[in-house]
Copies of this chain bind each other. A is one copy, B any other.
Amino acid sequence: MAAGVRNPLGLVVLAFLQERPMHPYELGRLLKSRNKQKSIKYRHASLYMVVKQLHRDGYIEPQETSRAGQLPERTVYALTLSGREVLMRELRELVAVPAKEYLRFEAALALIVVLPPPEVVTLLGERLQALTERIAELREKTRARDDVEWIHLIEYEYQLALAEAEEKFVRRFRASVDSGDVGELWQGLHPS
């Protein structure tokens, strides 16, 4: 059946299996070793779930089972034709069509009037500090290196671009709240 692959982790599985057949645990190891877990949420158990779903939907197929010692049996999966197709299709859409994302901070902003303005200034200060550190890390990580081609750092460039934008936004926002020009409504909710 299968209207597609919702979970990005599923796409990783398909993408990796394009290189060669593998068993789930190996997929997980590879994912970690290529540092994809920073961009794609990875939980050990989720991987097995996702593999099961991909199999159910006919995107991957068990090839052989092997076993080392008394450890559990490993099932090696291979990509099917429709698996390859769905990988390309989903990836194209992910790139071409911006998805609506619900960010935690966005939700917080939508409810920000619940907190008294002076406290918001303090909290935004804390966030600012964390963001600054994050940005420094990302700048370090994305600095041109000889051992890694730039295309493999592109996710971090993106994170960096967003983090910098957020930093600027928070700085502006904090200044606004700090200036005291906060509007009657918000002020009125917090009698001091």
Contacts and interface: CB of A to CB of B under 8 A. Distances in A.
Interface of chain A: mostly helix, strand, loop or mixed: helix
Interface residues of A, number: 66
Nearest to A95: B123
A162 to B, nearest CB: 6
Contacts of A152: 113, 185
A161 B151 contact: no
B151 A110 contact: no
Contacts of A166: 98, 158, 161-162
Contacts of A183: 149-151
A128 to B, nearest CB: 10
A110 B15 CA distance: 10
| Copies of this chain present | 2
Nearest to A102: B41
Contacts of A107: 8, 11-12, 39-40, 94
Given A96-B130, A101-B103, 14 more contacts: A15-B114, A39-B110, A91-B108, A91-B114, A91-B115, A95-B123, A98-B130, A106-B158, A110-B155, A112-B151, A149-B185, A149-B186, A150-B183, A151-B182
Interface of A: 8, 11-12, 15, 18, 36, 39-41, 87-88, 91-92, 94-99, 101-115, 119-120, 123-124, 126-127, 130-131, 134, 149-152, 154-155, 157-159, 161-162, 164-166, 168-169, 173, 176, 182-186
